[in-house]
Amino acid sequence: MSSSPSDWEVVIGLEVHVQLHTRAKVFASSPWGFGKEPNEQVDSVVLGLPGTLPVVNREAVEKSILFGLVVGSSVPEQCAWDRKNYFYPDNPKNYQLTQKDFPIVVGGQVEIELPGISRNVMGEHKFVRIHHAHLEEDVGKLSHAGSGSLVDYNRAGVPLLEIVTEPDLRSAAEAEAFLRSLVALLTQAGVADCDMEKGQLRCDCNVSIRRRGAEKLGTRTETKNLNSISSVRDTVIYETARQIRELEAGRTITQETRGWNAELSRGYVLRDKEDAHDYRYFPDPDIPTLRISRETVARLQKLVPESLYDRQRRYVEKLGLPFTAASVLVNDRELAEWFELAVAAHPANPQGIANWVTNDLLRDLAASGAAGALLTDAVPPAVSLASCPIKPAQLAGLVKLTDEGVISKQQAKEVFTEMFKTGQEAVAIVDAKGLRQNSDTGELEKIVQAVIADPAVAKSIAEYRAGNEKAINALKGPIMKRTQGKANPVLIDQLLRKFLG
Amino acid sequence: MADLLHTLSAAELGRRLSAGLLTSRTLCEALIARYHLLNKKVGAFTHLDERDVLTQADASDARRKAGQGRGPLEGIPVAIKDNIAVKGQPLTCSSQMLASLVSPYDAHVTERLRAAGAILYGRLNMDEFAMGSSTENSAIQKTFNPWDLACIPGGSSGGSAAALAAGLVPLALGSDTGGSIRQPASHCGIVGLKPTYGLISRFGLVAFASSLDQIGPMARCIEDCELLLSALASADARDMTCFAVADRALTPAGDAKKLRIGIPKGFLGKGVGAEVATAVTAAIDFYRSQGCAISEVELPSADLAVPTYYVVATAEASSNLGRYDGVRYGHRSASAGTPVEMMTNSRSEGFGAEVKRRILLGTFVLSAGYADAYYMRALRARSKIRAEYLAALATVDVLLTPTVPTPAFKVGEKASDPLQLYLEDIFTIPANLAGLPAISVPCGKSGHLPVGFHLVGAPLSEAKLLAAGRLFESAHGFAHQQAAL
Amino acid sequence: MAEGFDIDHLAKLARLNLTAAEKVLYSSQLTQILGHFQALAKADLPETIDLARVVSESALRSDEPGPVLGAEAVTRIAPASRDGQISVPRVVDDEA
Ligand SMILES: [Mg+2]
Ligand SMILES: [Zn+2]
């Protein structure tokens, strides 16, 4: 008799490696960046030449602390580095400098949002605890060429922050939501770029299952080096199914290290516990214990941006935005700040501004190639507003003109299109195009009366008077024609009803 | 005059150079001639680029002529142990592993010497990767004690000490992890100082045990030792363990006759030879006669020093030497089908027996299941030893013992007994464990072999050690001694 | 204290090949040395390790990119290289 999958609960913990946003490497002054020729970003320290010594990069330390502050962790008074010893050709010193006993960040939590039942309904929120985060160095890259392999050390020594969660995640969807939230926090605070295409975010994923309601954790497996959110999601789904299958077939789960083949969507065993490495950790004697001053922590605290979901709550609760618009805006800090600048310039209608931003602005930015990422739902949603031809106050001006009835909604679309092309002020475009609505009651009254008198519309007037509301619309066309489309439609409607009344 | 130049101190050579009585070229030519005469016998140098030396000498003479001399070391040759990087010169650490390596960069001390106008004069033999006390572990050649060519010069800076004692060079750099400057200094009758940990940048010193290693000056008299020390000590942002400010170490100490000297209780019981004991006791008596306060000091954990040292040092070494795997530089085995085989074969072919022994030992003390019993306990013992030394040095200025229990032994005599060799370092090791400055000063002979005494001081008390050494030296005839070869 | 001492395992961890004679020699020497270390096992030691050196943030390096060696120099000192990269025997998938 087999049980259903819902009898099992999956328990997931993640170790997320992110490359920190720095110019130089973490223990050496060599620069780093994507797309350089092999071994062009290597100095004698990175190469581990005899006699060279590591010196910790201040920016990497501060970015790590900033991350800690973003997730509300405590920043310890002291942190220290250890050596993790293992031989591998991509590891220049054959030890990795990492932090084992005294990491730079301890504790903290990340708020996540699960998908709602539809796109316009907010899903459940929960908190995922961070166990700690430690600052370490990346290794080089191996590629295979014929009968041999080639080593490029450009990536060696790039600062990595390894963020280790508590086993708080309970589904592939939660793991995915966690990573999306984490990426938003990291990118919004400027800690990391998290560009997965460039390998700037890599995960190790620990998965175990247990009977629902059971307290004891099952034996876990660790799948290493997942380089996209979708691979993490797929790995969780795959591992969960595999482990349930194993247990239900009466077998046991072995504690093992696994790999993931994204092309085949299949996991495989890298090594079992017997082959586990003996890393012979010990405190690195070249880097003294580092004391972190409270002044630094206080200074960095000021750089912590409002969190993703705090912002979302504020937009919904204080600005009255629908969830759909709020959730789009908060994904990107630059976009949200752009939006808020526009709101500051015209505080009366945040929702109107949000509509323009989330629909027209993003659409046109995407079309112009600046915000493709955002609309394709990729992470991070890298909108470049730097090149956006419309400034926040200009959009606010457009919304204001519409709100005041100076231009119609239809005209506003035309103004927006022009604004995106030329970057001109809304008022200037309206004037240049002569788009200003005609709201001169006296002039319009004359035109309305003239049209009513035209025998061509007599039939429509009769129908209207007979109770066909819609028949009145047949009179609006000729009026618009006589005003070159500038008549305020609201006013025309009022006047027609008055005269036909 | 040229035939006597090798007997002069660096300070005296400097005075003659400044006075225009001597050129750096003349000096270097004289030393090169002596090198040709004696180096084969002594085996101190593993490499000397004569043309490069003379080019440097000419440049120095030109600077001096132009009134752009750089100070007291201008034009003075300084020989360098082969584990300290000099750009464009070999950096072999006397190992097959690095036999072909030419350093692409300068160590911090090398930069300091260049800035001081010194001549970077050749590479000195050593125990492979500084592991040893006799220089017998060099994979390149043997070095012999100039006072008795049948004996070892000590180690691991044996080439440095022998070069000085043979008059091959006036100044030399050594490195000291557990006594590697002081022990050969004692065996060769010269002065060797291991500075406070952090006084001199380790950037460019090939690591043996990073928390213990220090570069230090070696010379034939206190004045020269001080001269070289002042040139080397300076802040260096490339070594996080290097002090930002360390002027205190070089600020002249007060009257050496007022020093309080502590004698560790029972040191003579530690296998100290009779003639060594006699010479060191005479030194103690001398200081007493000068008015120094002599008292006995308790160091209860002294017996833990050797095991603690060998656990810490080998653990760090096993990791530091991990980088020698044949991938990026150095020896690569010709036979290898897989990366693991390539690394394993390269290391097995490239390292000598003592290095392998220490790597195995260090790997063991860090390995799963044993790290707590060995490595972690050693760190705790190290804390205790350090605390005891600091407490003792709060009541006295310096601690005095022999540098080595016995004089230099015959080549090959202890080669098969590593533990016996490890005990050579019993008096010198605690200064490394506690990060304290220490000096070996020649104080007599055991037969025809030199003997030195050893002073340890509080952190950054180098000036006191030098003052104490000068007081002794000025009243005795051991300075500038050279073996008759 | 030296029980469980496994020379083959150690040699593998340290990436060293040992001949049969070397195994015998090193085993006996290491056993002797570790025996001498018994003093450590018996000693009364403090629980805490004093951190001899603690530095402040002033010891950190600023995030200024410095010079690099260049691929030419890297490959020049490498025992074997191809197209600016260091070549090694083929690595099989065992990510550490
Ligand atoms: Mg990990
Ligand atoms: Zn990691």
Tens of pLDDT, residue by residue over A329-357, are: 999 899 999 999 999 999 999 999 999 99
- Does residue B434 or residue A410 have the better pLDDT? B434
pLDDT band at B321 (very low <50, low <70, confident <90, very high): very high
Shortest CA distance to B113 belongs to which of B200, B41, B55? Answer: B200
Which pLDDT tens digit goes with each residue over C62-77? 999 999 999 999 999 9
Mean pLDDT of A134-141: 97
B446 at A interface, C-beta within 8 A:
no
Q: What is the DSSP letter of B84?
A: B
Global confidence as pTM: 0.92
* Contact between B373 and C1 using a beta-carbon 8 Å cutoff: yes
pLDDT band at B150 (very low <50, low <70, confident <90, very high): very high
Asked whether residue C37 is assigned to any structural domain, the reply reads yes
Q: What topology does CATH give the domain B2-257+400-475?
A: Amidase signature (AS) enzymes (3.90.1300)
In this predicted structure, which of A203-217, A367-381, A400-414, C59-73 has the lowest mean pLDDT? A367-381
The helix/strand/coil state of C47 is coil
pLDDT of residue A280: 97
pLDDT of residue B18: 97
Can you tell me the ipTM of this complex? 0.96
pLDDT of residue B472: 98
pLDDT band at C27 (very low <50, low <70, confident <90, very high): very high
Helices B305-320, B353-366: crossing angle, 10 deg rounding: 100
pLDDT of residue A482: 82
The helix/strand/coil state of A160 is strand
A49 at B interface, C-beta within 8 A:
yes
CA separation (Å) from C5 to B365, C11, C23, C27? Answer: 10, 11, 12, 8
Residue type, A481: K
pLDDT band at C48 (very low <50, low <70, confident <90, very high): confident
pLDDT band at A39 (very low <50, low <70, confident <90, very high): very high
Decide if B40 is catalytic. no
pLDDT above 90: residue C30: yes
Neighbours of B234 (CB within 10 A): 18
* Contact between B341 and C59 using a beta-carbon 8 Å cutoff: no
Chain B interface, best mutation among C3, C28, C40, by max B CB count within 10 A: C40
pLDDT above 90: residue A497: no
pLDDT of residue A36: 93
- Does residue A450 or residue B420 have the better pLDDT? A450
Report which secondary-structure segment, H or E, holds A258.
strand A256-261
pLDDT of residue A378: 45
Looking at every residue in chain B, the average pLDDT score rounds to 95
A288 at B interface, C-beta within 8 A:
yes
- d(CA A171, ligand 2 centre) in Å: 23
CA separation (Å) from A172 to A108, A123, A169, A257, B153? Answer: 22, 15, 8, 19, 68
- Does residue A231 or residue A459 have the better pLDDT? A231
- d(CA A14, ligand 1 centre) in Å: 9
- As a residue count, chain C comes to 96
Q: Where are the alpha helices (DSSP H) in A229-304?
A: 229-248, 294-301
Q: Where are the alpha helices (DSSP H) in B74-123?
A: 108-115
pLDDT of residue A376: 42
pLDDT band at B251 (very low <50, low <70, confident <90, very high): confident
Asked whether residue C72 is assigned to any structural domain, the reply reads no
Mean pLDDT of A377-398: 76
In this predicted structure, which of A114-128, A362-376, A421-435, B283-297 has the lowest mean pLDDT? A362-376
pLDDT of residue A446: 85
Q: Looking up tokens 């299109």, which residue turns up?
A: A417
In this predicted structure, which of A181-195, A468-482, B78-92 has the lowest mean pLDDT? A468-482
Q: Looking up tokens 């295409």, which residue turns up?
A: A197
pLDDT of residue B478: 86
The two three-digit tokens of residue A280, written as one number = 């012979």
pLDDT of residue A326: 96
pLDDT of residue B164: 98
pLDDT of residue A383: 54
Mean pLDDT of B113-131: 98
* A40 vs C63, C68, C82: nearest CB: C68
Which pLDDT tens digit goes with each residue over A254-307? 999 999 999 999 999 998 776 678 999 999 999 999 999 999 999 999 999 999
- Does residue B68 or residue A472 have the better pLDDT? B68
Looking at every residue in chain A, the average pLDDT score rounds to 91
pLDDT band at A373 (very low <50, low <70, confident <90, very high): very low
Strands (E), A233-382: 256-261, 266-272, 282-283, 289-291
- Does residue B71 or residue A473 have the better pLDDT? B71
- Domain regions of chain B by residue span: 2-257+400-475, 303-376
Three-state helix/strand/coil letters over B18-29? HCCCCCHHHHHH
Q: Can you tell me the distance from the alpha carbon of C3 to that of A214, in angstroms, rounded to the nearest whole number?
A: 40
pLDDT above 60: residue B62: yes
DSSP string, A377-417: T-SS-----TT-SS-HHHHHHHHHHHHTTSS-HHHHHHHHH
* Contact between C93 and A259 using a beta-carbon 8 Å cutoff: yes
pLDDT of residue B479: 84
pLDDT band at A375 (very low <50, low <70, confident <90, very high): very low
To the nearest whole percent, how much of chain B has pLDDT over 70?
A: 99
Mean pLDDT of B34-63: 98
pLDDT above 80: residue B353: yes
- Nearest chain C CA: its distance from A149 CA (Å): 5
To the nearest whole percent, how much of chain A has pLDDT over 70?
A: 95
Residue B216 near residue B437 (C-beta atoms within 8 A)? no
pLDDT above 70: residue B1: no
In this predicted structure, which of A79-88, A171-180, A301-310, A359-368 has the lowest mean pLDDT? A359-368
pLDDT above 80: residue C2: no
Mean pLDDT of B300-329: 96
Chain B interface, best mutation among C3, C5, C7, C15, by max B CB count within 10 A: C15
Q: What is the DSSP letter of A358?
A: I
Q: Can you tell me the distance from the alpha carbon of A392 to that of A398, in angstroms, rounded to the nearest whole number?
A: 10
pLDDT above 60: residue A406: yes
pLDDT band at A2 (very low <50, low <70, confident <90, very high): low
The two three-digit tokens of residue B250, written as one number = 């070089």
pLDDT of residue C3: 55
- Does residue A382 or residue B306 have the better pLDDT? B306
Neighbours of A212 (CB within 10 A): 10
Q: Where are the alpha helices (DSSP H) in A71-140?
A: none
Q: Burial, A269: exposed, middle or buried (Cβ in 10 Å; 0-12, 13-18, 19+)?
A: exposed
Decide if B301 is catalytic. no
**Residue-range definition of the domain harbouring residue C28:** 7-42
Mean pLDDT of B27-48: 98
Q: Where in chain A is the domain with CATH 1.10.10.410?
A: 441-500
In the CATH hierarchy, which top-level class contains the domain A441-500?
Answer: mainly alpha
- Report the relative pairing of strands A82-85 and A95-98 from DSSP bridges: antiparallel
Which pLDDT tens digit goes with each residue over A98-135? 999 999 999 999 999 999 999 889 999 999 999 999 99
pLDDT of residue A407: 85
Report which secondary-structure segment, H or E, holds C10.
helix C7-13
* Contact between C84 and A37 using a beta-carbon 8 Å cutoff: yes
- Does residue A364 or residue B114 have the better pLDDT? B114
In this predicted structure, which of A80-84, A95-99, A358-362, A426-430 has the lowest mean pLDDT? A426-430
* Contact between A43 and C66 using a beta-carbon 8 Å cutoff: yes
Q: Can you tell me the distance from the alpha carbon of B363 to that of B342, in angstroms, rounded to the nearest whole number?
A: 20
Report which secondary-structure segment, H or E, holds B317.
helix B305-320
Neighbours of C64 (CB within 10 A): 11
* A280 vs B98, B343, B363: nearest CB: B363
Residue A32 near residue A216 (C-beta atoms within 8 A)? no
Decide if B156 is catalytic. yes
Which pLDDT tens digit goes with each residue over A190-236? 999 999 989 999 999 999 999 999 999 999 999 999 999 999 999 99
* Contact between B328 and C17 using a beta-carbon 8 Å cutoff: no
Which pLDDT tens digit goes with each residue over B3-32? 589 999 999 999 999 999 999 999 999 999
pLDDT of residue A37: 97
pLDDT above 70: residue A325: yes
CB contacts of C13 in chain B (<8 Å) are 363, 367
In total, how many domains does chain C have? 1
pLDDT of residue A276: 72
The two three-digit tokens of residue A359, written as one number = 């629909």
pLDDT of residue A381: 44
Q: Of B9, B94, B138, B156, which is the active-site residue?
A: B156
